[in-house]
Chains A and B, each alone.
Chain A
Amino acid sequence: MSNKKEIIIKATKLKKSFITGDTEQTIFEYLNLNIYKGDFTVIMGSSGAGKSTLMYSLSGMDRPTSGEIVWDGKAITSLNDDKLAIFRRKNCGFVFQQIYLLDKMSLMDNVLTASALSETSKKDSVKYANELFTLVNIPEITRKKFPSQVSGGEAQRAGIVRAVINKPKILFADEPTGALNSNNSTAVLDVFTKLHGAGQSIIMVTHDKNTALRGNRVLYVKDGKIYGECDLGGYTNDSKDREAKLNNFLKEMGW
Chain B
Amino acid sequence: MQRILSKRVWRELKDNFLRYLALFLLIVLGMYIIVAMVGAAEMIIQNVEKGHRVNCLEDGQFNVFVPLNQKELEQIEEAGVTLEKAFFMDYKVEESTLRIYKNRESINLFSLARGELLSADGEILLEQHYADANGISIGDLITVGDREFKVVGLGSTPDYDAVYESMSDSSVDSKQFGTGFVQEADYERLRKEGKSFKTEEYCYSYLLNGKVTRDELKELLQSFELDRSQVTDEYFLEMLAEAESTKNDITEGIQELVDGSKELSDGLLEIAENNQDLKDAVDSLFEAMLEETNKGFEEAGISVVLQEERFEEQLDAMLTNPGAYSRETKQGIRDTKESLQDLREFQEGIDTYTDGVREAVNGSEELCVGLSLIEENNEILNAGAEQLFQAMLGQVNEQLAASGLPVVLTAEEYEGQLDQLIAAYGIYNEPLRQTLVALKEQLGQLGAFRDGVKAYTDGVSEAFWGSQLLVCGMGELHEAGEPLREGTDTLFEAMIEMVNEQLAEGDIEATITAENFEGELDRLTGANSPVDAKLKESLADTKEMLQDLQEFQDGIEEYTDAVEEAADGSKELVEGVEELQEEADEMLEEYFTFDIDNLTAFVSSEDNPRVGASIDDVMINKVAGMVAGVIIMILFTYVISVFVVHSIEQESSVIGALYALGVKRKQLMLHYLVLPVIITFLGGVTGCLIGFSPMGVDSQAKDAVVYFSMPSLEPVYPVYLLIYGLVMPPLAAIVVNYLVISKKLKRTALSLMRKEENAKNIKEMNLGQMGFVSRFQIRQILRELRSAAAILGGMFICLLVLMIGLNCYVLCENFRAASVQETKYEYLYSYKYPTEETPEGGLEGYMESLKKEAFGYNMEVAILGLTKENPYFEEKVTNKKNELVISSAVASKFSVKKGEKLVLTDEVNDRDYAFTIVDIIPYNSALYAFMDIDAMRELFEQEEDYFNVVFSKEPLEIESGRLYATTSKQSIEEASEIFVEMMWPMIIMMTTVAAIIFLVVMYLMMKVMIDRSAFSISLMKVFGYRKREIKKLYLDGNFFVVAVGALVCLPLSKVVMDALYPYFISNVAIGLDIAFSWQMYASIYVAIIVLYLVINQLLVKRLAKVNLAEILKNRE
Contacts and interface: CB of A to CB of B under 8 A. Distances in A.
Interface in B1093-1116: 1104, 1108-1109, 1111-1112, 1114-1116
B738 interface: no
A62 B1107 CA distance: 9
B1112 A117 contact: no
Given A112-B772, A148-B759, A56 B779 contact: no
B1023 A113 contact: yes
B433 interface: no
Interface stretch (A6-14, A38-46, A92-100, A133-141): A92-100
Contact of A104 (B783, B1023, B1024, B1115): B783
The majority secondary structure among interface residues of chain B is: helix
B744 to A, nearest CB: 16
Interface string B604-621: 000000000000000000
What interface size band does chain A fall in? Answer: 35 or more
A114 B1027 contact: no
A103 B763 CA distance: 11
A88 B1022 contact: yes
Given A86-B1024, A88-B1024, A103-B757, A148 B773 contact: no
A75 interface: no
A148 B1015 contact: no
Q: Report which residue of B756, B776, B1024, B1115 has the largest number of chain A beta carbons within 10 angstroms of its beta carbon.
A: B1024
B762 A149 contact: yes
A102 interface: yes
A104 B1109 contact: no
B256 interface: no
Nearest to B1027: A82
B1021 A109 contact: no
Given A61-B1109, A85-B1025, A146-B762, A98 B1115 contact: yes
B1020 interface: yes
B775 interface: yes
A102 B1015 CA distance: 9
B772 A104 contact: no
Contact of A100 (B759, B1019, B1021): B1019
Q: Report which residue of A56, A87, A88, A116 has the largest number of chain B beta carbons within 10 angstroms of its beta carbon.
A: A116
A98 B754 CA distance: 12
A98 B1018 CA distance: 14
A90 interface: yes
A148 B1025 CA distance: 24
B772 A85 contact: no
A186 B777 CA distance: 36
Interface in B901-942: none
Contact of A117 (B759, B1029, B1109): B1029
Nearest to B758: A148
Nearest to A146: B762
A82 B1026 contact: yes
Contacts of B1112: 52, 56, 61-62
A31 interface: no
Nearest to B776: A113
What interface size band does chain B fall in? Answer: 20 to 34
A85 B757 contact: no
B137 interface: no
Contacts of A62: 1108-1109, 1112
Contacts of A87: 1024
A180 interface: no
Interface in A166-190: 166, 174, 179
Contacts of B1024: 85-90, 92, 114, 117, 166
Contact of B775 (A81, A109, A166, A174): A109
Interface in B764-793: 764, 772-773, 775-776, 779, 782-783
Q: Report which residue of A88, A97, A166 has the largest number of chain B beta carbons within 10 angstroms of its beta carbon.
A: A88
A88 B759 CA distance: 34
Contacts, number: 84
Contacts of B1027: 81-82
A82 B1031 CA distance: 13
B1023 A56 contact: no
Contacts of A114: 1023-1024
B1116 A148 contact: no
Nearest to A106: B764
A100 B1111 contact: yes
A86 B773 CA distance: 18
B1026 to A, nearest CB: 5
Contacts of A112: 772
Given A56-B1109, A61-B1109, A85 B779 contact: no
Contacts of A52: 1112, 1115
A49 interface: no
A85 B1029 CA distance: 11
B1026 A148 contact: no
B119 to A, nearest CB: 80
Interface in B95-110: none
A117 B1028 CA distance: 12
Interface in B554-606: none
Contacts of A166: 1024
Given A56-B1109, A85-B1021, A85-B1026, A97 B1115 contact: yes
Contact of A148 (B762, B783, B1111): B762
Interface string B986-1025: 0000000000000000000000000000011001111111
B1114 A98 contact: yes
A98 B1027 CA distance: 24
A92 B1024 CA distance: 9
Interface in A119-156: 122, 144, 146, 148-149
B409 to A, nearest CB: 68
Interface in B1054-1080: none
B1019 to A, nearest CB: 5
B762 A102 contact: no
Nearest to A144: B764
Contacts of A98: 1114-1116
B863 to A, nearest CB: 67
A191 interface: no
Contacts of A149: 759, 762
A105 B779 contact: yes
A97 B756 CA distance: 17
Contacts of B1111: 61, 96, 100
B747 to A, nearest CB: 14
Nearest to B756: A148
Interface in B439-480: none
Given A61-B1108, A102-B1016, A94 B772 contact: no
Interface string B307-321: 000000000000000
A230 to B, nearest CB: 26
Contacts of B1115: 52, 96-98, 174
A48 to B, nearest CB: 12
B769 to A, nearest CB: 9
A148 B1019 CA distance: 18
Q: Closest 10 CB pairs between A and B? A: A89-B1024, A88-B1024, A148-B757, A82-B1026, A116-B772, A85-B1026, A114-B1023, A85-B1024, A146-B762, A104-B779
Interface of B: 756-757, 759, 762, 764, 772-773, 775-776, 779, 782-783, 1015-1016, 1019-1027, 1029, 1104, 1108-1109, 1111-1112, 1114-1116
Given A85-B1024, A85-B1026, A113-B776, 19 more contacts: A52-B1112, A61-B1108, A62-B1109, A81-B1027, A82-B1026, A87-B1024, A88-B1022, A94-B1023, A97-B1116, A98-B1116, A103-B783, A104-B762, A104-B783, A109-B775, A117-B1023, A117-B1025, A122-B772, A146-B757, A148-B756
Interface of A: 52, 56, 61-62, 81-82, 85-90, 92, 94, 96-98, 100, 102-105, 109, 112-114, 116-117, 122, 144, 146, 148-149, 166, 174, 179
10 contacts: A61-B1022, A85-B1024, A98-B1116, A100-B1019, A109-B775, A112-B772, A113-B776, A117-B1024, A117-B1029, A122-B772
